Structure 1
Protein backbone atom coordinates (compact mmCIF):
# COMPACT_ATOMS: atom_id res chain seq x y z
CA UNK A 1 0.00 0.00 0.00
CA UNK A 2 2.84 2.38 0.76
CA UNK A 3 4.25 1.93 -2.76
CA UNK A 4 0.81 2.60 -4.21
CA UNK A 5 0.47 5.76 -2.08
CA UNK A 6 3.84 7.04 -3.30
CA UNK A 7 2.90 6.32 -6.91
CA UNK A 8 -0.43 8.06 -6.51
CA UNK A 9 1.37 11.16 -5.21
CA UNK A 10 3.41 11.27 -8.45
CA UNK A 11 0.19 11.69 -10.48
CA UNK A 12 -0.02 15.30 -9.34
CA UNK A 13 -3.35 15.43 -7.55
CA UNK A 14 -3.87 18.65 -5.62
CA UNK A 15 -5.10 18.50 -2.05
CA UNK A 16 -5.50 15.48 0.15
CA UNK A 17 -6.63 12.00 -0.76
CA UNK A 18 -6.69 8.67 1.02
CA UNK A 19 -6.26 5.09 -0.17
CA UNK A 20 -7.84 2.06 1.49
CA UNK A 21 -7.35 -1.60 0.61
CA UNK A 22 -10.59 -3.45 -0.17
CA UNK A 23 -8.99 -6.68 -1.44
CA UNK A 24 -5.94 -7.71 -3.48
CA UNK A 25 -7.42 -6.16 -6.66
CA UNK A 26 -9.41 -3.18 -5.37
CA UNK A 27 -8.38 0.03 -3.65
CA UNK A 28 -10.77 2.72 -2.49
CA UNK A 29 -9.57 6.24 -3.31
CA UNK A 30 -11.21 9.21 -1.59
CA UNK A 31 -10.43 12.74 -2.74
CA UNK A 32 -11.03 15.88 -0.71
CA UNK A 33 -11.43 17.98 -3.86
CA UNK A 34 -13.99 17.30 -6.57
CA UNK A 35 -11.52 18.44 -9.26
CA UNK A 36 -9.26 15.49 -8.39
CA UNK A 37 -12.17 13.04 -8.41
CA UNK A 38 -13.22 14.26 -11.87
CA UNK A 39 -9.65 14.07 -13.20
CA UNK A 40 -9.27 10.50 -11.95
CA UNK A 41 -12.72 9.30 -13.10
CA UNK A 42 -12.57 11.00 -16.49
CA UNK A 43 -9.22 9.48 -17.36
CA UNK A 44 -10.56 6.00 -16.59
CA UNK A 45 -7.25 4.14 -16.95
CA UNK A 46 -3.94 5.00 -15.30
CA UNK A 47 -0.52 3.39 -15.53
CA UNK A 48 1.43 2.97 -12.31
CA UNK A 49 4.85 1.29 -12.42
CA UNK A 50 3.87 -0.53 -15.61
CA UNK A 51 0.56 -1.80 -14.20
CA UNK A 52 -2.74 -0.75 -15.74
CA UNK A 53 -5.11 0.66 -13.12
CA UNK A 54 -8.74 0.93 -14.15
CA UNK A 55 -11.00 3.35 -12.31
CA UNK A 56 -14.51 2.36 -11.25
CA UNK A 57 -17.03 4.50 -9.49
CA UNK A 58 -17.96 3.29 -6.03
CA UNK A 59 -21.65 2.93 -5.23
CA UNK A 60 -23.46 1.41 -2.22
CA UNK A 61 -24.07 -1.72 -4.32
CA UNK A 62 -20.33 -2.17 -5.05
CA UNK A 63 -19.16 -5.77 -5.29
CA UNK A 64 -15.62 -6.95 -6.04
CA UNK A 65 -17.08 -9.52 -8.46
CA UNK A 66 -19.27 -7.18 -10.51
CA UNK A 67 -18.26 -4.11 -12.47
CA UNK A 68 -21.07 -1.60 -12.71
CA UNK A 69 -22.10 -0.56 -16.23
CA UNK A 70 -21.15 3.06 -15.51
CA UNK A 71 -18.61 4.85 -17.68
CA UNK A 72 -17.55 8.42 -18.23
CA UNK A 73 -17.56 9.19 -21.93
CA UNK A 74 -17.06 12.24 -24.09
CA UNK A 75 -20.00 13.29 -26.22
CA UNK A 76 -19.94 15.59 -29.24
CA UNK A 77 -22.84 17.66 -30.54
CA UNK A 78 -21.90 18.70 -34.08
CA UNK A 79 -23.31 21.98 -35.39
CA UNK A 80 -25.00 22.84 -32.09
CA UNK A 81 -26.09 26.50 -32.16
CA UNK A 82 -23.47 28.62 -30.40
CA UNK A 83 -25.96 30.18 -27.98
CA UNK A 84 -26.27 26.71 -26.35
CA UNK A 85 -22.53 26.39 -25.58
CA UNK A 86 -22.92 27.64 -21.99
CA UNK A 87 -22.73 25.21 -19.08
CA UNK A 88 -26.44 25.45 -18.21
CA UNK A 89 -27.84 24.49 -21.63
CA UNK A 90 -25.11 21.89 -22.24
CA UNK A 91 -25.70 20.20 -18.88
CA UNK A 92 -29.46 20.18 -19.60
CA UNK A 93 -28.74 18.32 -22.83
CA UNK A 94 -26.23 16.03 -21.07
CA UNK A 95 -28.89 15.04 -18.50
CA UNK A 96 -30.85 13.46 -21.37
CA UNK A 97 -27.95 10.98 -21.68
CA UNK A 98 -26.73 10.55 -18.11
CA UNK A 99 -24.99 12.53 -15.38
CA UNK A 100 -23.08 15.57 -16.72
CA UNK A 101 -19.48 15.83 -15.49
CA UNK A 102 -17.48 18.39 -17.43
CA UNK A 103 -17.37 20.62 -20.51
CA UNK A 104 -14.18 20.55 -22.54
CA UNK A 105 -12.01 23.67 -22.65
CA UNK A 106 -12.53 24.39 -26.37
CA UNK A 107 -16.30 24.32 -25.91
CA UNK A 108 -16.19 26.58 -22.86
CA UNK A 109 -13.98 29.14 -24.64
CA UNK A 110 -15.80 28.85 -28.01
CA UNK A 111 -12.51 28.02 -29.76
CA UNK A 112 -14.27 25.35 -31.83
CA UNK A 113 -17.85 26.54 -32.47
CA UNK A 114 -18.51 23.74 -34.98
CA UNK A 115 -18.97 21.17 -32.21
CA UNK A 116 -19.77 21.18 -28.50
CA UNK A 117 -18.14 18.51 -26.30
CA UNK A 118 -18.85 17.41 -22.76
CA UNK A 119 -18.23 14.40 -20.59
CA UNK A 120 -21.16 12.50 -19.15
CA UNK A 121 -21.48 9.45 -16.93
CA UNK A 122 -23.69 6.89 -18.66
CA UNK A 123 -25.17 3.51 -17.87
CA UNK A 124 -23.94 1.22 -20.65
CA UNK A 125 -26.90 -1.12 -20.19
CA UNK A 126 -29.26 1.61 -21.33
CA UNK A 127 -29.68 2.47 -24.98
CA UNK A 128 -27.91 5.71 -25.84
CA UNK A 129 -29.73 7.87 -28.40
CA UNK A 130 -28.03 9.03 -31.60
CA UNK A 131 -30.09 12.24 -31.51
CA UNK A 132 -32.02 14.29 -28.94
CA UNK A 133 -34.85 16.78 -29.27
CA UNK A 134 -33.94 20.30 -28.19
CA UNK A 135 -37.13 22.23 -27.77
CA UNK A 136 -37.82 25.89 -27.27
CA UNK A 137 -41.51 26.41 -26.64
CA UNK A 138 -43.47 25.13 -29.64
CA UNK A 139 -40.38 24.86 -31.86
CA UNK A 140 -37.15 22.90 -31.67
CA UNK A 141 -34.82 20.63 -33.59
CA UNK A 142 -33.20 17.21 -33.54
CA UNK A 143 -29.56 17.36 -32.47
CA UNK A 144 -27.13 14.62 -33.54
CA UNK A 145 -25.20 12.97 -30.69
CA UNK A 146 -21.80 11.34 -31.21
CA UNK A 147 -20.10 9.20 -28.55
CA UNK A 148 -16.32 8.94 -28.33
CA UNK A 149 -14.66 5.64 -27.37
CA UNK A 150 -17.81 4.04 -26.02
CA UNK A 151 -16.72 0.95 -24.06
CA UNK A 152 -18.61 -2.31 -24.23
CA UNK A 153 -20.30 -3.88 -21.21
CA UNK A 154 -20.86 -7.61 -20.94
CA UNK A 155 -24.07 -8.47 -19.13
CA UNK A 156 -22.99 -12.15 -19.00
CA UNK A 157 -19.87 -11.65 -16.83
CA UNK A 158 -20.60 -8.08 -15.60
CA UNK A 159 -17.34 -6.64 -16.92
CA UNK A 160 -16.46 -3.52 -18.88
CA UNK A 161 -14.45 -3.71 -22.09
CA UNK A 162 -16.29 -6.25 -24.20
CA UNK A 163 -19.79 -7.38 -25.19
CA UNK A 164 -21.58 -10.64 -24.38
CA UNK A 165 -21.12 -11.78 -27.98
CA UNK A 166 -17.32 -11.84 -27.51
CA UNK A 167 -17.17 -12.90 -23.84
CA UNK A 168 -14.44 -15.45 -23.08
CA UNK A 169 -16.22 -16.48 -19.86
CA UNK A 170 -19.32 -17.45 -21.81
CA UNK A 171 -17.25 -19.33 -24.40
CA UNK A 172 -15.26 -21.16 -21.70
CA UNK A 173 -18.36 -22.35 -19.85
CA UNK A 174 -20.36 -23.16 -22.97
CA UNK A 175 -23.24 -20.93 -21.86
CA UNK A 176 -25.80 -19.93 -24.43
CA UNK A 177 -26.75 -16.31 -24.57
CA UNK A 178 -30.32 -15.16 -24.99
CA UNK A 179 -29.64 -12.24 -27.30
CA UNK A 180 -32.39 -10.05 -28.66
CA UNK A 181 -33.33 -10.75 -32.29
Structure 2
Protein backbone atom coordinates (compact mmCIF):
# COMPACT_ATOMS: atom_id res chain seq x y z
CA UNK A 1 0.00 0.00 0.00
CA UNK A 2 1.42 3.38 -0.96
CA UNK A 3 1.53 6.27 1.49
CA UNK A 4 -1.18 8.13 -0.45
CA UNK A 5 -3.48 5.09 -0.37
CA UNK A 6 -2.92 4.73 3.38
CA UNK A 7 -3.92 8.33 4.03
CA UNK A 8 -7.14 7.93 2.06
CA UNK A 9 -7.98 4.73 3.90
CA UNK A 10 -7.41 6.39 7.28
CA UNK A 11 -9.48 9.45 6.37
CA UNK A 12 -12.31 7.34 4.95
CA UNK A 13 -12.70 5.19 8.02
CA UNK A 14 -10.89 2.11 6.70
CA UNK A 15 -12.03 1.94 3.07
CA UNK A 16 -9.43 2.80 0.44
CA UNK A 17 -12.20 3.63 -2.03
CA UNK A 18 -13.94 6.17 0.22
CA UNK A 19 -13.26 9.83 -0.48
CA UNK A 20 -12.62 12.26 2.37
CA UNK A 21 -15.29 14.90 2.95
CA UNK A 22 -12.88 17.84 2.88
CA UNK A 23 -11.60 19.98 -0.01
CA UNK A 24 -10.17 18.19 -3.04
CA UNK A 25 -6.66 19.54 -3.55
CA UNK A 26 -4.19 19.55 -6.42
CA UNK A 27 -0.46 20.01 -6.90
CA UNK A 28 0.73 23.56 -7.67
CA UNK A 29 4.35 23.61 -8.86
CA UNK A 30 6.38 25.76 -6.45
CA UNK A 31 8.95 28.28 -7.52
CA UNK A 32 12.41 28.63 -6.00
CA UNK A 33 14.26 31.29 -4.09
CA UNK A 34 17.78 30.96 -2.72
CA UNK A 35 17.76 27.25 -3.63
CA UNK A 36 14.60 26.66 -1.59
CA UNK A 37 11.08 25.82 -2.70
CA UNK A 38 8.57 28.62 -2.13
CA UNK A 39 4.91 28.84 -2.94
CA UNK A 40 3.68 31.59 -5.22
CA UNK A 41 0.19 33.07 -5.08
CA UNK A 42 -0.71 35.05 -8.24
CA UNK A 43 -2.25 38.46 -7.78
CA UNK A 44 -6.01 38.32 -7.45
CA UNK A 45 -6.20 34.53 -7.02
CA UNK A 46 -7.48 34.73 -3.42
CA UNK A 47 -9.40 38.01 -3.61
CA UNK A 48 -12.74 36.30 -3.05
CA UNK A 49 -11.37 34.53 0.01
CA UNK A 50 -10.14 37.85 1.41
CA UNK A 51 -13.59 39.36 0.91
CA UNK A 52 -15.12 36.38 2.75
CA UNK A 53 -13.23 37.33 5.92
CA UNK A 54 -13.34 41.11 5.52
CA UNK A 55 -16.15 41.47 8.06
CA UNK A 56 -14.00 39.98 10.83
CA UNK A 57 -12.31 41.40 13.88
CA UNK A 58 -9.28 39.94 15.62
CA UNK A 59 -9.55 39.99 19.40
CA UNK A 60 -6.42 39.84 21.51
CA UNK A 61 -6.05 39.19 25.23
CA UNK A 62 -2.67 40.04 26.68
CA UNK A 63 -1.50 37.27 28.96
CA UNK A 64 -3.93 34.58 30.09
CA UNK A 65 -7.44 34.70 28.68
CA UNK A 66 -10.83 33.56 30.01
CA UNK A 67 -12.35 30.30 28.71
CA UNK A 68 -14.01 30.34 25.29
CA UNK A 69 -17.56 29.98 26.63
CA UNK A 70 -17.05 32.93 29.01
CA UNK A 71 -15.75 35.16 26.20
CA UNK A 72 -18.58 34.18 23.87
CA UNK A 73 -21.37 34.68 26.41
CA UNK A 74 -20.02 37.97 27.71
CA UNK A 75 -19.37 39.61 24.33
CA UNK A 76 -22.66 38.50 22.79
CA UNK A 77 -24.48 39.94 25.79
CA UNK A 78 -22.58 43.24 25.70
CA UNK A 79 -22.53 43.64 21.92
CA UNK A 80 -26.22 42.92 21.25
CA UNK A 81 -25.55 42.19 17.58
CA UNK A 82 -28.46 42.36 15.15
CA UNK A 83 -27.05 39.62 12.94
CA UNK A 84 -25.18 36.38 13.47
CA UNK A 85 -21.67 36.39 14.94
CA UNK A 86 -19.34 33.39 14.75
CA UNK A 87 -16.57 33.28 17.34
CA UNK A 88 -13.42 31.22 16.84
CA UNK A 89 -10.42 30.73 19.11
CA UNK A 90 -7.24 30.37 17.07
CA UNK A 91 -4.57 30.39 19.75
CA UNK A 92 -4.13 31.24 23.39
CA UNK A 93 -5.46 34.75 23.84
CA UNK A 94 -6.47 35.36 20.20
CA UNK A 95 -10.04 35.16 18.90
CA UNK A 96 -11.68 35.75 15.52
CA UNK A 97 -15.12 37.39 15.46
CA UNK A 98 -16.89 36.90 12.14
CA UNK A 99 -19.83 39.24 11.65
CA UNK A 100 -22.51 38.99 8.99
CA UNK A 101 -23.64 42.59 9.46
CA UNK A 102 -21.18 45.42 8.77
CA UNK A 103 -22.95 47.69 11.28
CA UNK A 104 -22.50 45.08 14.02
CA UNK A 105 -18.79 44.91 13.27
CA UNK A 106 -18.46 48.70 13.33
CA UNK A 107 -20.26 48.94 16.68
CA UNK A 108 -18.04 46.25 18.18
CA UNK A 109 -14.88 47.95 16.91
CA UNK A 110 -15.87 51.42 18.07
CA UNK A 111 -17.60 50.36 21.27
CA UNK A 112 -14.58 48.80 22.98
CA UNK A 113 -12.45 48.12 24.79
CA UNK A 114 -14.63 45.25 26.00
CA UNK A 115 -14.31 43.94 29.53
CA UNK A 116 -14.41 40.16 30.11
CA UNK A 117 -14.33 39.68 33.86
CA UNK A 118 -11.31 41.67 34.97
CA UNK A 119 -9.55 41.46 31.61
CA UNK A 120 -9.88 43.56 28.48
CA UNK A 121 -9.97 42.25 24.95
CA UNK A 122 -8.50 44.52 22.28
CA UNK A 123 -10.18 44.38 18.87
CA UNK A 124 -8.61 45.13 15.50
CA UNK A 125 -9.89 44.94 11.95
CA UNK A 126 -8.73 41.74 10.25
CA UNK A 127 -6.71 41.99 7.06
CA UNK A 128 -4.94 39.35 5.02
CA UNK A 129 -1.62 40.27 6.66
CA UNK A 130 -2.95 39.86 10.20
CA UNK A 131 -0.96 37.41 12.27
CA UNK A 132 -3.00 34.79 14.09
CA UNK A 133 -0.10 33.86 16.33
CA UNK A 134 1.18 37.17 17.59
CA UNK A 135 -0.32 40.60 17.21
CA UNK A 136 1.87 43.62 17.75
CA UNK A 137 -0.41 46.16 19.37
CA UNK A 138 0.91 49.52 18.27
CA UNK A 139 -2.17 51.26 19.65
CA UNK A 140 -4.97 50.29 22.01
CA UNK A 141 -8.22 51.86 23.17
CA UNK A 142 -8.05 52.26 26.93
CA UNK A 143 -10.09 53.87 29.69
CA UNK A 144 -8.39 56.59 31.71
CA UNK A 145 -9.55 58.58 34.73
CA UNK A 146 -8.76 62.23 35.35
CA UNK A 147 -9.00 62.85 39.11
CA UNK A 148 -9.84 66.39 40.20
CA UNK A 149 -10.48 67.61 36.66
CA UNK A 150 -11.42 71.32 36.78
CA UNK A 151 -15.17 71.76 36.44
CA UNK A 152 -15.03 73.87 33.28
CA UNK A 153 -13.41 70.93 31.45
CA UNK A 154 -16.43 68.66 31.98
CA UNK A 155 -17.67 69.10 28.41
CA UNK A 156 -16.81 67.61 25.01
CA UNK A 157 -14.36 70.40 24.15
CA UNK A 158 -12.57 70.34 27.51
CA UNK A 159 -12.35 66.55 27.69
CA UNK A 160 -11.08 66.43 24.10
CA UNK A 161 -8.32 68.94 24.85
CA UNK A 162 -7.09 66.98 27.85
CA UNK A 163 -7.51 63.59 26.14
CA UNK A 164 -5.56 64.74 23.08
CA UNK A 165 -2.44 65.26 25.20
CA UNK A 166 -2.55 61.51 25.98
CA UNK A 167 -3.81 59.95 22.74
CA UNK A 168 -6.80 60.19 20.43
CA UNK A 169 -9.97 60.84 22.47
CA UNK A 170 -12.86 58.51 21.62
CA UNK A 171 -15.69 59.06 24.10
CA UNK A 172 -16.51 59.54 27.78
CA UNK A 173 -18.51 57.26 30.00
CA UNK A 174 -22.13 58.03 30.82
CA UNK A 175 -21.48 59.24 34.36
CA UNK A 176 -18.97 61.78 33.10
CA UNK A 177 -21.60 63.05 30.69
CA UNK A 178 -24.17 63.28 33.50
CA UNK A 179 -21.60 64.91 35.82
CA UNK A 180 -22.92 63.00 38.83
CA UNK A 181 -19.45 61.86 39.96
CA UNK A 182 -17.21 64.90 40.08
CA UNK A 183 -14.27 63.24 41.85
CA UNK A 184 -12.89 62.14 38.46
CA UNK A 185 -13.79 62.18 34.77
CA UNK A 186 -13.50 58.96 32.78
CA UNK A 187 -12.76 58.87 29.07
CA UNK A 188 -11.60 56.32 26.50
CA UNK A 189 -8.61 57.19 24.33
CA UNK A 190 -6.67 55.45 21.57
CA UNK A 191 -3.21 55.17 23.09
CA UNK A 192 -0.16 54.92 20.83
CA UNK A 193 2.85 52.80 21.75
CA UNK A 194 5.12 55.31 20.06
CA UNK A 195 5.32 57.26 23.32
CA UNK A 196 5.36 56.27 26.98
CA UNK A 197 1.94 56.87 28.60
CA UNK A 198 2.20 60.03 30.73
CA UNK A 199 1.19 60.08 34.40
CA UNK A 200 0.25 63.75 34.18
CA UNK A 201 -0.25 66.34 31.48
CA UNK A 202 -0.14 70.13 31.29
CA UNK A 203 -2.99 72.18 29.86
CA UNK A 204 -2.31 75.80 28.97
CA UNK A 205 -4.83 78.63 29.08
CA UNK A 206 -4.33 82.29 28.29
CA UNK A 207 -4.30 83.23 31.97
CA UNK A 208 -2.29 80.29 33.30
CA UNK A 209 -1.97 76.51 33.22
CA UNK A 210 -3.00 73.42 35.15
CA UNK A 211 -1.38 70.04 35.78
CA UNK A 212 -3.69 67.04 35.41
CA UNK A 213 -3.03 63.57 36.83
CA UNK A 214 -3.82 60.58 34.61
CA UNK A 215 -4.73 57.08 35.79
CA UNK A 216 -4.98 54.12 33.39
CA UNK A 217 -7.33 51.16 33.72
CA UNK A 218 -5.66 47.87 32.84
CA UNK A 219 -2.69 49.37 31.02
CA UNK A 220 -0.67 46.50 29.48
CA UNK A 221 3.11 46.37 29.46
CA UNK A 222 4.67 48.88 27.08
CA UNK A 223 7.91 48.15 25.23
CA UNK A 224 9.72 51.42 24.59
CA UNK A 225 12.19 49.66 22.25
CA UNK A 226 9.74 47.81 19.97
CA UNK A 227 7.01 50.47 20.33
CA UNK A 228 4.27 47.92 21.02
CA UNK A 229 2.05 46.96 23.93
CA UNK A 230 2.09 43.51 25.44
CA UNK A 231 5.73 42.82 26.29
CA UNK A 232 8.61 44.57 28.03
Question: 1:121: Cα distance to partner?
Answer: 1.6
* 92 and 147 in structure 1: CA distance in 2 versus 1, 3 angstrom threshold: same
**Count of equivalent residues:** 155
Gaps (5+ residues) in structure 2?
A: 1-68
- Structure with max Cα Rg: 2
Report whether the alignment pairs 1:37 with 2:127.
no
Q: How does 1:1-181 map to 2 (within 5 A)?
A: 10-11=76-77, 13-16=79-82, 24-25=90-91, 26-29=95-98, 31-32=102-103, 34-39=106-111, 41-43=112-114, 45=116, 54-58=121-125, 62-64=130-132, 65-153=134-222, 160-161=229-230, 163-164=231-232
Gaps (5+ residues) in structure 1?
A: 47-51, 165-181
Secondary structure of 2:161's counterpart equals: helix
Deviations 1:88-139 (A, max 9, x none): 2102211221122221122111111121111112123421112212122242
Tell me the TM-score normalized by structure 1: 0.64
RMSD of aligned Cα (Å): 3.8
Distance 1:127 1:9 in 2: 30
CA contact (8 A) 1:124 1:152 kept: no
Distance 1:9 1:136 in 2: 42
